[in-house]
Amino acid sequence: MVDFDSLNVAINGAFGEPLSYQPAAGGQPFTVQGVFTDAYKRSFDNGEGGIGWTTTAPSVGVRAADFSSPPVKNDSLTRLSNGQVYILFDKHADGIGWLNIILKAVA
């Protein structure tokens, strides 16, 4: 059997960065390691000979085991490398212990 949590730990160790996580319900913020992906635009063929654009939101991948309670909408996350604050917009579990959290930047 594959130990996916060990794989998730290795991914975080290689590509992760420290983030400050603040639950919307209150309590103390805590530091969590996560793999951050900035928002980006990607071109696509629109099927009529033209090019369209799609935009992705910033996101962060984290280990579900690093949270005492599951992350919820409107929790906040601060990227410690640059101080940018984000609000949790949505999350998707991959079924093997990793969460992809979709973020919205706070101005």
Cα–Cα dist 8/6, whole Å: 5
- Domains in the chain: boundaries: 4-39+53-105
Among 13-22, 47-56, 63-72, whose mean pLDDT is lowest?
47-56
pLDDT of residue 50: 80
**DSSP string computed for the chain:** ---HHHHHHHHHHHH-EEEEEE-TT-S--EEEEEEEE---EEEEE-SSS-EEEEE---EEEEEGGG-SS---TT-EEEETTT--EEEEEEEEE-SSSEEEEEEEE--
User: CATH number of the domain at 4-39+53-105, please?
Assistant: 2.40.10
> pTM, whole model, 2 decimals?
0.81
Q: What tens digit of pLDDT does each residue of 30-59 get? A: 999 999 999 877 777 777 888 777 778 899
Backbone angles phi, psi at 51, to 5 degrees: -120, 135
